[in-house]
Amino acid sequence: MAQVRPARGRRSLGLTLVVSEITVLFRRLRTWAMIGALALIPILIAVVVRVSSDGAASGRGPAFLNSITQNGLFVSLTALTVAIPLFLPLTIGVVAGDTIAGEANLGTLRYLLVAPAGRLRLLLVKYAGAALFCFVATLTVVVTGAIIGALLFPVGPVTLLSGDTVGIPGYFVRLLLLALYVTVSLMGLSAIGLFISTLTTIPVGAMAATAALAAVAQILGALPQLEWLHPWLFTNYWLGFGDLLREPIVWTSFADNALLQFGYIAVFGTLAYGRFSTKDILS
């Protein structure tokens, strides 16, 4: 019994830490500003299409754009396609880059470590916060898209890429899977951001470096000369979410993506641990 109690105490401490981390994260004005900006993407797309839908120019623009006038539910997909390459990595970069460096910059890091939390646990808690933000950010784009689409356009059964049709409930299951897919896609980037954040005490530097890495990986991914490298880039499956919109669903990209992101989490998570646990905390 004597051994169980401290263990339970430690676990509850971990939980309180997670809860406090999440409350701090979502009490920040910055977090809400970013979520608001993400929500603006589908709203902007829907309003622009609505205002200018006079025989729409077909064949150009992001995927699914032409389908919006027929079915408002496609707004979510167009917005997601637009948000994935730039806006989502940018916001993830801000959150993940801020994790450790932000505390160090504010001088709160050493107080966090005074509590018997342990550096590994602090890293895990910080990472959990970043991961939750990934999911909330993705869900914001998808849900706002569905709402604004339903408000401005007719809504009905959705045509999948394979030409089959699913009803609205089935479509929402797929949207949830999509949000999950995109969240998993961003986990590798979050781990990279966490590692970079342990390297510096200047959060802006870590944020910029993380967002820039996402851009660099996508540029490398666009060069056919570097084809051998592509399967190893964390951005490789970012636009593979289309596989969830086929009938039957093709799960291979989901599985490959999860494995790849897990690899990035393992590599950069252990790097972050190595760095953070050996670092002298001065602030």
Partner 1 sequence: MNKNWRWLPAGIVPVVIVTAAVSGSAVAEAQPQLPAKTAQELLEFVATSTDDAYSGTVEQSSDLGLPDLGAVDAPGRTSSSDPTSMALELLTGEHTAQVYVDGTDRARVQVLDQLAQRDVVVNGNDVWYYDSESNEAAHAVLPDKAAAKAELEAKLQEKSAEYPELQDLPRTPAEVAEVVLATIDPGTDIRVDGTSRVAGRSAYELVLTPEDEATLVGSITVSVDSETGVPLNVTVLAKGQEEPAFSAGFSSVDFGAPDADIFEFTPPAGATVTEAPTADEARAELEARAELEAGQAPADAPAQMPAEEQQPTVIGEGWSTIVELPAGTAGGLGLDLGTGDTAGMGEIMEIKPGMDPDEVAGAQALLEQALTQVDGGRALQTSLVSVLITDDGRILAGAVGVDQLVAASQR
Interface with partner 1 (CB under 8 A): 59, 63-64, 66-67, 70, 81, 156-157, 159-165, 222, 224, 239-240, 242-243, 246, 248, 250, 252, 263, 266-267, 270-271, 273-274, 277-278
Minimum CB distance to partner 1, residue 66 (Å) = 8
Angstrom distances, CA of residue 251 to CA of 71, 84, 142: 26, 20, 20
Considering the complex, state which of residue 63 and residue 150 has its C-beta at the smaller distance from partner 1: 63
Minimum CB distance to partner 1, residue 163 (Å) = 4
Minimum CB distance to partner 1, residue 31 (Å) = 30
Considering the complex, state which of residue 54 and residue 227 has its C-beta at the smaller distance from partner 1: 227
Name the amino acid, one letter, at 223: L
With H, G, I as helix, E, B as strand and everything else as coil, classify residue 159.
strand
Give yes or no for a contact between 251 and 243, defined as CB atoms under 8 angstroms apart.
yes
Minimum CB distance to partner 1, residue 2 (Å) = 29
Considering the complex, state which of residue 63 and residue 199 has its C-beta at the smaller distance from partner 1: 63
Considering the complex, state which of residue 87 and residue 264 has its C-beta at the smaller distance from partner 1: 264
Minimum CB distance to partner 1, residue 126 (Å) = 17
Tokens of 242: 């289309």
- Residues 6 or more apart from 279 whose CB is under 8 A from it? 198
How many Å apart are CA 265 and CA 152, to the nearest integer? 40
Minimum CB distance to partner 1, residue 111 (Å) = 21
How many Å apart are CA 155 and CA 158, to the nearest integer? 8
| Alpha helix positions (H), 153-202 | 168-199
Beta bridge pairs of residue 158:
166
Considering the complex, state which of residue 80 and residue 101 has its C-beta at the smaller distance from partner 1: 80
Give yes or no for a contact between 236 and 260, defined as CB atoms under 8 angstroms apart.
yes
Give yes or no for a contact between 87 and 38, defined as CB atoms under 8 angstroms apart.
yes
Minimum CB distance to partner 1, residue 156 (Å) = 8
Considering the complex, state which of residue 32 and residue 251 has its C-beta at the smaller distance from partner 1: 251
Tokens of 180: 């999950």
Tokens of 135: 């999911």
Beta bridge pairs of residue 166:
158
Considering the complex, state which of residue 19 and residue 222 has its C-beta at the smaller distance from partner 1: 222
Give yes or no for a contact between 159 and 60, defined as CB atoms under 8 angstroms apart.
no
